[in-house]
Amino acid sequence: MLVIECKLYGSETQFRAIDEGIRVGQFVRNKALRYWMDEGKAGKKVGKHDLNKLCAALAAQYPFVAKLGSQARQAAAERAWSAIARFYERSKKGLKPIGYPRFQKDNRSIEYKQAGWKLDDAYNRLTLSDGLGIGTLKLKGYKALQGYNTDHIKRVRILKRADGYYAQFCLRVNRRIAVEPSGTAIGLDVGLTRLYTDSNGNIEPNPRFYRKAEKRLKRAQKIVSRRHKRGQKQSHNYLKAKERLARVYLKTQRQRRDHAIKLARCVVRSNDLIAFEDLSVKNMVRNRKLAKSIYDAGWRIFRQRLEYYGKVFGNVVIAVDPKNTTQIDHESGSILTRKTLADRVHLTASGREMSRDHNAAINILQRGLQTVGWGTAEPNAWRVSIGPALSGQETTNQESHVL
């Protein structure tokens, strides 16, 4: 699924209508969740189809619900079912926390399936035709859509952010780009001081976007706190200060995401095989001293984009077990001396000094080559097989300018 995002431009009346639609979608989702809870207590089994039928009953009972399109109501009910399905899945696997579905109070989007919306011939205007009265909105960034047919668009999501309203077009396409094999492989050891060190010894610095924005965030947060009136209706100045704070957070998030996307694309396109550590970020952030730095590094989005671009370019992207990658010597394959976090230099079996992260990256690459069956006694034997292995993959040159 490919998602292309465009900014929406319209009048204040249209944006108020979008806000009303978002509230209605949240109402339908919460009503569907309440119906599942009540019927479950009565001993009745509720499925996805039952929640879809509930949408028609809610439209007949509440006139404001009927204004929202029928498929948009069904999409809101499907959100409730997604939370319920995740709860069932985690319960069966015995995972904790189980994640019991909760009522939503801060919904910021509505979804339309394949009805209730229309794009004009130039793809630069979006018309929403349900009873909310939103009408036609202008699109910024629509040129990324022009390479696709409207039949590929399976859903349109209207999203409210701190700096305005956006439309996300979800397309079902196989995005493949043909590239010539480079004959190179690389291992990546991610870190906090440096974003990653590769098996060639190259270092990518950590931009630390959140750390750089902390001063602005603290100043904006102080203004919000000063203008907040406990137990009273909040003033217009408080709401404006809250929006400014949200925009600072949004800018930091976008900087981190943009950096991860561009970096991952460059890494995947330049190498035929990329091996990285299969880290459990969810468990690592339990360390309160490192949690902020780990989130700021953006390991999760970087890994997601590596895997995504691996499929797009047809290259091999593989996660390997990170156990002892820092401790093991890449030359001898054994642990010579145990290193603490303070030890940043590794001494190889031949007496050569190198960075511990560089040594770990080489171990990660070796494990990646062994996992795919290209690790042999000859150090560069994988170069002979990597070309034929990657050639002949079916590709079509379809690439979004947004991604």
pLDDT average per 10 residues of sequence, the chain (403 residues)? 92 96 96 94 91 94 94 95 94 87 94 92 92 94 89 94 95 88 92 93 95 96 94 92 96 96 95 93 90 94 95 93 92 87 88 92 93 60 44 37 36
CATH topology of domain 185-208+254-390: Nucleotidyltransferase; domain 5 (3.30.420)
Closest CA to 272 of 384, 402, 400, 401: 384
In the chain, ranges of CATH 3.30.420 domains: 185-208+254-390
- The pLDDT assigned to 374 comes to 67
Unique residue bearing structure tokens 């950096």: 259
Instruction: Give the separation between CA 238 and CA 281, rounded to whole angstroms.
Output: 35
Torsion angle, alpha carbons of 126, 151, 59, 41, to 10: -130
Q: What is the pLDDT of residue 375?
A: 58
The C-alpha atoms of residue 128 and residue 101 are separated, in whole angstroms, by 30
**What is the pLDDT at residue 379?**
42
Report how far Cα 121 is from the mean position of its chain's Cα atoms: 31
Q: What is the pLDDT of residue 120?
A: 92
In sequence order, which residues have a C-beta less than 8 Å from that of residue 308 and are 6 or more positions away?
264
- As a residue count, the chain comes to 403
Q: State which amino acid sits at residue 360.
A: A
Looking at residue 381, its amino acid is A
Q: What is the pLDDT of residue 174?
A: 86
What burial letters (b/e) apply to 196-223, b meaning 16+ CB within 10 Å? bbbbeeeebebbebbeebeeeeeebeeb
